[in-house]
Amino acid sequence: MYSALFLSLLSAIAVAAQKGDWTAAYDSATGALAQLTNDQKVGIVTGTGWMNGNCVGNTGDAPNIGFRSLCLQDGPLGVRTATGVTAFPAGIHAASTWDVELIRQRGLAMGEEFRALGVNVQLGPVAGAIGKIPAAGRNWEAFGPDPYFTGIAMQETIIGIQEAGVQACAKHYILNEQELNRGSMSSSVDDRAMHELYLWPFADSVKANVASIMCSYNRIDGVYACENDAVLNSLLKDELSFPGYVLTDWGAQHSNENSANAGLDMAMPGDGMGDGNYYWGPNLLNAVDSGSVPQERLDDMVKRILASWYYIGQDKDYPEVGFDNWQPGTGKDVQGDHATVARAIARDGIVLLKNVDNALPLNKPATLAIIGSDAFPNPDGPNACVDRGCNVGTLAMGWGSGTVEFPYLIAPHDAIKERADADGTVLTTSPNDETASATAAATAAETAIVFINADSGEEYITVEGNAGDRNDLNAWHNGNELVQAVAEVNAKTIVVIHSVGQILLESFIELENVVAVVWAGLPGQESGNGLVDILYGDTAPNGKLPYTIGKTAEDHGTAIVPGDDSYPEGLFIDYRHYDKNEIEPRFEFGFGLSYTTFDYTELTATYTDKSPGEGSPAPGGPTSLYDEVATVTATITNNGTVTGAEVAQLYIGLPESAPETPVRQLRGFQKVSLEAGASAPVSFSLRRKDLSYWDTEAQAWVTPTGEFKVYVGASSRDIRLTGTM
Ligand SMILES: *[C@@H]1O[C@H](CO)[C@@H](O)[C@H](O)[C@H]1NC(C)=O
């Protein structure tokens, strides 16, 4: 008795020591590795083949070390294909909350659902495409084109997912910025932009101990990402000291020895998407036998996979896989109370762009018109099209592998109707996008809300002529004409937009009768409920744009590239491009109105670094890069009349001794909720890397000497406090 108890206590301590501790996890992995044959090792690093296993990706097992076949499953906003899961707001919508607490809660809630269904690896979150090209099809899966912001969002999401006991997978690594030709095109970027823009959020992911990273379909400097020594070995494993494993995007492997020696650790789905041809499997075994792939390299792959599994604590009591990816409709209810966080994000991710004379919030209007197909449910149900590959009815996520089955989708009309019934408001409706029926409905009402949208997704599905990437930045379904027609006849026209990303607003934004514009993003299953919270003022709008909305498509300075992409814009995407070239955007990065106003006072900026040390290598790069070296503080006052939340933003301009750098770069943000009349301090902590640039000659981060410019404000252009440091 005594000794059994003692032993189980010891093993509990051993488990605790492995979980959350890379050194202990590697010790366990090394011990387990010694018990594996090369056959078993090759089985662990090679997927079992397309559709061979319950999940979208499956590995071999090793029962003698208690290692079950790993289940890898899409995607970044929930468990793909299974029923009984939550359809969370998309990454870009979580981003527009600018709320790190909500972003972490979303990660945790997603992780709990993956775990309950027995998934070992969630294929998300996404930092690439980061969104340098507004029309790119999959930007909505990620967190927007600012690397600092995306880094924080990746970190919080990964911490949440992994706290639930699920391995996160940061993807798609790297320079995978569009869908067109993604499997063949080559991207090249200068070394500074690579470090300061594209690699940056992956560095934060590694710092947050992400278990795995997915290499992308494209080539970098002519070499496929999944066999690219420079990006896998040099940048990720050497420079960032990534201790986890690299897996391929599905079918992104193109070689046996080259990929193995360049740093790939796991091939997915194993064969070429069902063709039965495996680059690895027996071929990798032969390569190891012949010496063209060193035995140590195979052992390193396995150690990385096992160490991540121990690190997350999946070696003990992991749930069985509870669904079959290839049998639609399988699964079980794992939603718990996650609708609460889904609704909070749906609500707080909404950005108010225009509001003339307090047109919003609505105050029990006598009559109200609801116009546009985007306000109404898809008559065939929210999951009518496979992988959401159509744009019918209200839009709440894009299309492709980054989707889930909706358990339900609250359409705006349905949620508004509930409120209208309670208020005694008479609704007139036009559930299509035809101008004749729209003007009829709008003429009959005091206020008209017109809904428009724009969709995009992954390249394997074409929707209304858009092969993943959008063909242009206009609203779909003649949205511009629809708004104009309504505004012709209704003096209180409110526009609500559901969109995967930036659209052009110029054809209606300045119309006098367009009194309010609400950017409702991609809100997931709680769409209508979150919108009603904002439209009726139960919550003041508190989201901010995670990208810049320009006046023309050309103003953005980037577009889908027909061949290879040499990234001529370098560091200057989104607001950095607008600032550098002094282009007036329509709505800048970080912009968003409220029903109240905020005053900014009392800026302080203090450089506190005392010991600019080298730091030791650690996940994410030298520890010194993450040391806190400066603090900026300010005071925010709600000087309006209702409770509201403000996202205070810190931008830094580097000293003149630095090479050409964006005028201002986001380096901090904090959301504070304040009652009318209340004040609160905000404090931004700057890490060494936040004040540094990548010195291409020295191949190191350098903190320039001289005067740093410090800007605190309500957006990237609405700067309220300026100082130096
Ligand atoms: C609130 O503060 C803002 C920013 O300083 C200012 O423009 C505005 O006039 C103030 N409003 C009131 C009611 O004091």
363-376 residue pLDDT tens = 999 999 999 999 99
Q: How far is the CA of 364 from the centre of ligand 1 (A)?
A: 28
Q: What is the domain partition of the chain in residue ranges?
A: 22-83+118-135+148-179+199-312, 339-541, 598-724
CA separation for the pair 342, 79 (Å, rounded): 14
Ligand 1, from 596, 597, 637, 715: best to mutate by most atoms within 8 Å of Cβ? 597
* Closest residue by Cα to residue 183 from 612, 625, 564: 564
**Domain 339-541: which topology?**
Rossmann fold (3.40.50)
Q: How far is the CA of 499 from the centre of ligand 1 (A)?
A: 32
The finding on whether 679 has its CB within 6 A of some atom of ligand 1 is no
Element (H, E) at 484: helix 479-489
Token pair of 547 as six digits? 């990208």
Alpha carbon 268 to chain centroid, angstroms = 22
Task: Name the closest-CA residue to atom 7, ligand 1.
Answer: 599
* Closest residue by Cα to residue 350 from 493, 210, 526: 526
The finding on whether 597 has its CB within 6 A of some atom of ligand 1 is yes
DSSP secondary structure string for all residues of 125-156? -B-SS--SSTT-TTGGGS--S-HHHHHHHHHH
Closest atom of ligand 1 to CA, residue 640:
13
Q: How far is the CA of 641 from the centre of ligand 1 (A)?
A: 11
CA separation for the pair 319, 313 (Å, rounded): 12
The finding on whether 599 has its CB within 6 A of some atom of ligand 1 is yes
pLDDT confidence of residue 609: 78
pTM of the entire predicted model: 0.97
Task: Name the closest-CA residue to atom 11, ligand 1.
Answer: 639
Blockwise average pLDDT, block size 10, the chain, 725 residues: 40 55 97 98 98 98 98 98 98 98 98 98 98 98 98 98 98 98 98 98 98 98 98 98 98 98 98 96 98 98 98 96 95 98 98 98 98 98 98 98 98 98 98 98 97 98 98 98 98 98 98 98 98 98 98 98 98 98 98 98 91 78 94 98 98 97 98 98 98 97 96 98 97
* Closest residue by Cα to residue 525 from 437, 611, 407, 615: 407
Q: How far is the CA of 595 from the centre of ligand 1 (A)?
A: 13
CA separation for the pair 586, 503 (Å, rounded): 11
Task: Name the closest-CA residue to atom 3, ligand 1.
Answer: 599
Catalytic residue among 74, 249, 533, 579: 249
Alpha carbon 189 to chain centroid, angstroms = 22
The mean predicted confidence, pLDDT, of the chain is 96
CA separation for the pair 444, 432 (Å, rounded): 17
Closest atom of ligand 1 to CA, residue 597:
1
CA separation for the pair 164, 141 (Å, rounded): 21
Q: How far is the CA of 468 from the centre of ligand 1 (A)?
A: 44
The finding on whether 635 has its CB within 6 A of some atom of ligand 1 is no
Token pair of 632 as six digits? 């900026």
CA separation for the pair 244, 167 (Å, rounded): 10
The finding on whether 718 has its CB within 6 A of some atom of ligand 1 is no
Alpha helices in 179-249 (DSSP H): 191-193, 200-207, 229
Q: Is 249 a catalytic residue?
A: yes
Q: 413-466 pLDDT, tens per residue?
A: 999 999 999 999 999 999 999 999 999 999 999 999 999 999 999 999 999 999
pLDDT confidence of residue 166: 98
Angstrom distances, CA of residue 472 to CA of 129, 456, 501, 503, 672:
18, 11, 11, 8, 36
Burial call 585-602: b when 16+ CB within 10 Å, e when fewer: bbbbbbbbbbbbbbebee
Q: 634-681 pLDDT, tens per residue?
A: 999 999 999 999 999 999 999 999 999 999 999 999 999 999 999 999
Q: How far is the CA of 647 from the centre of ligand 1 (A)?
A: 16
**Domain 22-83+118-135+148-179+199-312: which topology?**
TIM Barrel (3.20.20)
Q: How far is the CA of 592 from the centre of ligand 1 (A)?
A: 16
Q: 673-720 pLDDT, tens per residue?
A: 999 999 999 999 999 999 999 999 999 999 999 999 999 999 999 999
What is the identity of the amino acid at 287? A
Burial call 396-410: b when 16+ CB within 10 Å, e when fewer: bbbbbbbbbbbbebb
Task: Name the closest-CA residue to atom 2, ligand 1.
Answer: 599
pLDDT confidence of residue 613: 62
The class of domain 598-724 in CATH terms is mainly beta
Ligand 1, from 358, 595, 598, 599: best to mutate by most atoms within 8 Å of Cβ? 599
